[in-house]
Structure 1
């Protein structure tokens, strides 16, 4: 029975009471959060402590007498998980509990759980008719084999609760089966110094009414030196993922203000909870979350607080392609996906501030697909500081931040919650951020003084995606890092930061998700897909392993038997009959195959294993000694192979993109013939004698004859002709080119400028452009401008997602930006109001010419560039590294290397 308590009574879940909801925490851009108070906690005031004590003593005595009369005796004491038990009782033989799941066990089990008692449960099902209250020290329940506890059908309440504050409690080796209709239950346990919960799985989904819905685990330790452990706990179908319920939805693990000690969550698996996978942030104690897996938990997958709390070696996925629950309802409010959320707000008015110092290390985070992705790592307005180390983050969800520091501030519905004291920084070291997300920026730091981004790699390929954004922050540092984005590398809004050793080149490792509990019990009756993948007779496991590299490695293979997805198959892989095509990018794919391989193409150096043995793909393909012969219609015999060149004039052209992970587009035309070569890709298009295609970490090859009349490629990758490396520009004679700047896909006005060392003649749509001495400055808005040019490009810059074509073929404008004495480029872009800037480098600085070149009033002296911008741009060339940068006002900096 539950007892009503005041917030100071140190009861886990006290925040469900009148002081507010557990988790009303959705922030808007300013850092505000919306929500409202939750419902109050009811209870039964009946004092039964003395009666319960007598009943327990009587129950133990009865069990002992019953055992002795049967010719046996209860097992002697034992020590398990650091807890000393005086006696061990068998649930069936000693207590007479029904292991068939028919008769309720509450009365006898409740009485038997007296001080110093461990109850062992043989394999079977044990039905409960309500809550069991744990009110003694050194008590435990241990399942042996497949042990399932069944709450009553239609029950919505705790299965185990505590009163008052017991100590040394063990719960291990049981499944809680709540798959009956309208059934939801959980475990609430607040101990003085120690508890241990291990190998507990919730079967079924908590789908009862979300108002005050019961969470899976509500845990705490009251003494500062105490320690509780939750290990190998699993809940794969938490609740409705859209069941936030104004902060009253079901939580995976709640650790609240009652906790003063340390709670360790280890090797656990929590999925699809509507109100946080773990809500373990607003506690003065510490929470350690290690070696665990989280998938599609609303609000946040993991939440932690301050000093001493950390997340280590965990995998967090947000991917609604893997969602197994009911169709989403209204997600207009109370719905948003975050990977990790750090929140050091206090739960009670007048309480001391939680010390700063949360850490995330050695984690894998993937934001693949969600209706509303907020941030993979988020520091709340009530958060103080956060350190992120040795962690890989992938974001494919548009407008979702990889790392975000929300503006520090109070929460509107709890005015007494003050803005947390400094520090407010995020410090990132050896963090990789990858993915295809577009919009916003990868890293946003607001009022985050003294934040640091060091030894990091940011590679975001989506459109209009900026890199690192400082807002109202001072003392920022970005150093020894790769920032490769489609937008601006570093932007400062009323901020100061220093920068050094920043490049666009480098390898960004990808996360490799691996659920922590793939061997745990499935939940087959709850719907959705299972997690296990096992072979049928005669099948072998094929693994394509690209975990050693961040490059994208493509493959295709065909068997003459069958093929099915394996345990590591990717949803993007395509199985068409017995042919598979797919890719790995820093991870592995696997399939169950039968029969012989008739084809295997691998573009890259992935390791291929068949039933655990490393094999060469070429060795897998069985050659047919009766392969097709070459029929001849002229009656003569031929001893040549038709796969060789048609004439002695044919040459092999190879475009080699294996050295980088970027997608490299190319197009070429010859005045002779062209045919696919050994490494041609199915996506390449051969239209007469013109080829368009791309490589992405691999090769393409063609057999060509005649001369090249055009060759366009948007990256500096090796091109070989008959084995000799050649410069594509040397293959084509320049007789003048047509340049088109195309903004038809955008309704916004987009500016551009370029210069050539030859001539420029305006063409269609270019009447409004300014053409002066080989330099063009113009603007398009839903239309295009064309020019006829000769000579080489010396400068080419565009705004936004403008498409640039040369002789009809799309090109990257950066490849047209001609050579300069200084190898790097700095662009300062004004935002309307005048802003001043100063950039100090370790090398030299010079103004760039062209339409967006620095003005006469701007300065480039030694290694320092300075000046002002308003609604224009200033461009400088520089060498060395950026040592310091400062902006007074709103402007952005883009570094091009």
Structure 2
């Protein structure tokens, strides 16, 4: 069966074709609409006020659509409307280093067949996967087993998978079925890949079979609420942990360890820490620890960050506002962004690299014609996290300039945190590895890396140059301002499925890229439209994409700050 986890096991493969694109479009690709999800949808993307926050896909009655992620791809900010009778939408990530973020399903899953809304695995042991901020209400009309599974982790999962801030309810076959990677060689699917599955800050309710089911060493359920399921938490194989969670009102038992079906399952172990639950069944296996008391949390809103609606999930907002780590304001309200504690000359700047909460190990480097030192920004990130350089000792660095006076610095951050530097002199270059989850701020203002270089090159006195060239005169021969067009979109319709039409607008400038693309689209100011029968079209642009429309079958790849 196409959505059966056992059929999706594949060993790591080398040499993906996308790696040969000379860096123009490589591993870090954003999927607004990709693959067969774009096929035949005649999709209206981002209608109304929601256009700034997420894209909306409406699945027709009786239709079933599937998105497939490849290595390094991200699927994010989608509202998937399956309210039409027998409409369904599947997400498949059988690859390495992928992310699924901010996905809201609107409507009931009508099918009673054994299916998976999301099926995933990380193929390689040194790769990762992330599922974050998902809202899925399953089948509220029929809870007959097996039916739908919210998230199914396939047998071949070998890497590290983290699932956080998901709200999955009413699934006849587990909200999260994550034990397949622990299968033994005696299992019909063969021995599992053994990769850990970590579920954090999430909610499951009213699911048959189990709420969260995991079964590999290193797997953990942390700060979760599970209620009204057949089996609340099910540690099926190996040794898993449950920490800081509330599990209640399960029909069989709140915590179940092991299973009689497989010899390996009879040796399962669960370690319980600071978790409140009412009942347990060890099935001959071992549960270490005991309940911390009567469960206190039973609602989705009791878990910070869990989305309470499909719109909330798609837009990336959380169920409760993020509170600062402490109550101190320091100097954030005295209006001194341009002069904050600045005892140095006017050519010294505060340079910050800030991340989205979903960012992990986001690296960056920059160079400057003057001294660099770690510092702490006076304001927190939008996620309420500190912005301070030098905290990741193993990765953050500053290299003092040699004879040419060029200093270099860089580091790694993520999780909504940021790094900050005090820089004297002009910033000459900035390289951000994951621009989709990291941005740069100059003196507290979010700007592009190119803008940082431009503004600091003038040392604060006429940074636009005497000729009015915003690039400081360095690129005076670039009459159409292509230096600002650092983003690329590629629409690839190389499949055999006929004609694909598209249109979109950008908030800045746009032109066909000279590097690839058949240049079939027509550009009218900041708007583009075109039709592809077989081939691809590509554009360089500045700003953001708006009002994107696609009818037909195509892969749409967007890369920011590629040069």
Structure number having the greater strand percentage: 1
Is TM more than 0.5 here?
A: no
TM-score (norm 2): 0.44
Structure 1 length-normalised TM: 0.29
**Higher RCO, 1 vs 2 (CA within 8 Å, ≥6 residues apart):** 2
